[in-house]
Amino acid sequence: MPSFVVVPQWQGSGSDRAMRLIDGAEAIRGDLPSAHTTTVEVPAGAGDSLGTGIARVSSLRTVHERLREHLVDLPGPAITIGGDCSVSLAAVGHAWEHSAGSLAVVWLDAHPDLNTPESSPSGAFTGMVLRALLGEGTDGLVAPVPLVPARVILAGTRDIDPGEQDAIDDLAIPVLAVGSLDADSLVAAIAATGATSVYLHIDLDVLDPAEIEGLGSPVPFGLTVAELTALIRAALARFEFAGASVTEFAPTSPAAAGEDMGAILRIIGALAA
């Protein structure tokens, strides 16, 4: 069984529902196997931008460093539970650094998260994290060993800012839109990278809003839970599992979180099978 690392970080989000990410992470943690689950402490304060153009960057740097240190001590691959998408900076970075060049990263997300502080309409780091993984970022929030663009696949992406589209075009990152995304197309895209292992970043907003209520930034016309779990199983049947992130669960209240937990546990179950 993989290790589970819960990171109830909200400071990277630009949503007015950001604080709900704490409740989302705590709700998921309650259903994970306690013997295989650890938690990274998140600062209580929002933090300061420090002139970087990234909101709450001081807190984000603290969590990033704590998660990087935490992952080093874990045996085997980990499933990182957010919190906002920013937790994938440390989680994906760790997997990439230990992959010996074998890894592909599938970014299952309604948003490509390829903004920079200059192009971002919000200053929220959750919309910049993949760009930081590719080596463009500010001190303390950028991958020390950048991803290779040819090893990145955007899947289920359908809400793209102009600056992000420029990055997709410039870096030649493939985008598998919802209408053309199935098990065969995903496996073929991963195989085309030459990778033998895969990391799956899953922002729950890749799902259609009809599938899950607790989304901070819902985008219509997404995947069903059945489609997402089929994609996960197909990828992991063909490629070695190097880790995963499940992020952006923002229930309206702790009580309401239970309504979505069945869907979320099906996704985690597919990852941990």
41-67 pLDDT per residue, tens: 999 999 999 999 999 999 999 999 999
Q: Which residue has the tokens 């997300």?
A: 109
pLDDT-derived band of residue 232, with 50, 70 and 90 as boundaries?
Answer: very high
> pTM, whole model, 2 decimals?
0.98
What is the tens place of the pLDDT at every residue in 84-136? 999 999 999 999 999 999 999 999 999 999 999 999 999 999 999 999 999 99
Alpha helical stretches, state H, the chain: 20-29, 57-72, 87-97, 129-133, 162-171, 183-192, 225-238, 254-272
pLDDT of residue 209: 97
Which pairing describes strands 152-155 and 240-247: parallel, antiparallel, or unpaired? unpaired
pLDDT at 38 over 90: yes
Percent with pLDDT over 90 in the chain: 97
Mean pLDDT of 243-250: 98
**What is the total count of domains within the chain?**
1
Averaged confidence pLDDT in the chain: 97
CATH number at residue 53: 3.40.800.10
pLDDT at 16 over 90: no
pLDDT of residue 17: 85
Residues 6+ apart with CB under 8 A from 235: 106, 186, 187, 190, 198, 200
Percent with pLDDT over 70 in the chain: 100
pLDDT at 185 over 90: yes
Q: How many CA atoms lie within 13 A of 74 on its CB side?
A: 27
User: Cα(211)–Cα(219) distance, rounded to whole angstroms?
Assistant: 11
Q: Which residue has the tokens 């650094």?
A: 97
Q: Which pair of tokens denotes residue 189?
A: 């895209």
- In which domain, by residue range, is 157 found? 3-272
pLDDT-derived band of residue 187, with 50, 70 and 90 as boundaries?
Answer: very high
Q: Are 6 and 40 in contact (CB under 8 A)?
A: yes
